[in-house]
Amino acid sequence: MKRLVETDRWKDAWFIDLHPNAKLLLSYLYDNCDESGFVDLNYSLWQAQLKMSKEFIVTSLKALQPALLSDKKKKLFVVDFLKHQKKLPLIKGVEESEWIITKLRNNLEKFDNAPGISNILNNHIEGVVVKGKVATSSKNKFVEPTFEELKDYYLEVKPDAKLPAIEDIYDHYVSCGWTVGKNKPMVDWKACVRKAIRNNETRGNNGGGYQRDGYQGNKKSRTEVTLSVIDEIKKNK
């Protein structure tokens, strides 16, 4: 099976700061895990194929903890593998997705019901048969993040963010019932967080707080600008 490569990984600050051994090991795991993201821990095989000592492998695995889950025995799960392979959301009724769902469910308890696995299962799409083919329904089970989940992701995207900025965006979405636009149900809260961060940076919101669409921050309104121009004309008369 051919696999997609996440080239943006090399622009991520967390990845850039990794030791070359850790970068190599993560790339290796992406290439060698199964189609659901699981891979068996095999030091002897990895030593032979990576030409890396067991000590370096263990050290690299510790550095890669944000990108991996472990069953504390001999199996790992590459957290973002399915996302990078464009397999999400999983679609019930599609053979490939059904196989992945089964694998995730079979391993969920072994991984202590880790959110990195359970969230993928909870956000699957129900497939419906239309003229002999499986089509996706519009019902996507959205799971609201906790404040800690949103904060952790916000800091992952913007490590220098201030706590009030994170509290602002969380309170905003809680108050509007996790909707976007004209009260449309939210589908991907992480995408909304990224957009809010981009909007704040574009508008020069140095305070770090969340700004709603249409809010102009310190910019003057048209009326204020017009009055300023009139005042200048009067001064020059």
Q: Do 64 and 98 sit in the same domain of this protein? A: no
Which whole-number Å values give the CA distances from 145 to 56, 62, 148, 197, 200, in the listed order?
Answer: 35, 26, 8, 17, 21
pLDDT in tens, the chain (237 residues): 689 988 888 988 999 999 999 999 999 999 999 999 999 999 999 999 999 999 999 999 999 999 999 998 899 999 999 999 999 999 988 899 999 999 999 999 999 999 999 999 999 887 654 445 545 554 456 788 999 999 999 999 999 999 999 999 999 998 888 888 777 888 889 999 999 999 888 776 544 455 544 334 444 555 554 555 556 555 555
Residues 55 and 34 in one domain: yes
Looking at the fold, whether 68 and 108 belong to one and the same domain comes out as no
What is the three-state SS of the chain? CCCCCCHHHHHCHHHHCCCHHHHHHHHHHHHHCCCCCEEECCHHHHHHHHCCCHHHHHHHHHHCHHHEEECCCCEEEECCHHHHCCCCCCEECCHHHHHHHHHHHHHHCCCCCCHHHHHHHHCCEEEEEECCEEEEEEEECCCCCCHHHHHHHHHHHCCCCCHHHHHHHHHHHHHCCCEECCCEECCCHHHHHHHHHHHHHHCCCCCCCCCCCCCCCCCCCHHHHHHHHHHHHHHHC
Domain that holds residue 95: 88-141
Both 3 and 33 in one domain: the answer is yes
Do both 75 and 165 map to the same domain?
no
Do both 157 and 201 map to the same domain?
A: yes
Residues 41 and 126 in one domain: no
Tell which of 97, 118, 141 closes a domain. Answer: 141
Answer with the one of 141, 157, 175 that is the final residue of a domain. 141
What type of residue sits at position 195?
K
Residues 137 and 155 in one domain: no
Q: What is the CATH number of the domain that holds 8?
A: 1.10.10
Structural domain count of the chain: 3
Do 137 and 223 sit in the same domain of this protein? no
